[in-house]
Amino acid sequence: MTDTQFIEQLLGEAGDYANNLRYDPFPTTTNPWLGPTYNSNSFVSGLLKGAGAVPPTLPGIQPGYGQPIPLGQ
């Protein structure tokens, strides 16, 4: 895939996101009242995965990065 194709894929995935997932600064898959929650780190990792990339391993603590939003499924 070319750079342009990858950028177009990212834009397409971002455009398909309905912005309808529950937000939590510290997301979890097991919230008994809300169900799964997500944050901006979840959006970034989900966008990358949805576009076909493997999100890089980042140093430090990134709450939600390991819980990507469901895109490209």
Residue (of 68, 12, 15) closest to 40 by Cα position? 68
Whether the predicted pLDDT of 12 surpasses 60 = yes
**pLDDT for 28-71, tens place per residue?**
888 788 789 999 999 999 999 999 999 999 999 999 999 999 98
User: What is the pLDDT at residue 72?
Assistant: 63
Amino acid 67: pLDDT = 93
Name, in order, each residue with C-beta under 8 angstroms of 3's C-beta and a sequence gap of 6 or more: none
Taking the whole predicted model, whether its pTM rises above 0.95 is answered as no
pLDDT, residue 10, reads 95
Confidence band for 73, pLDDT divided at 50, 70 and 90:
low
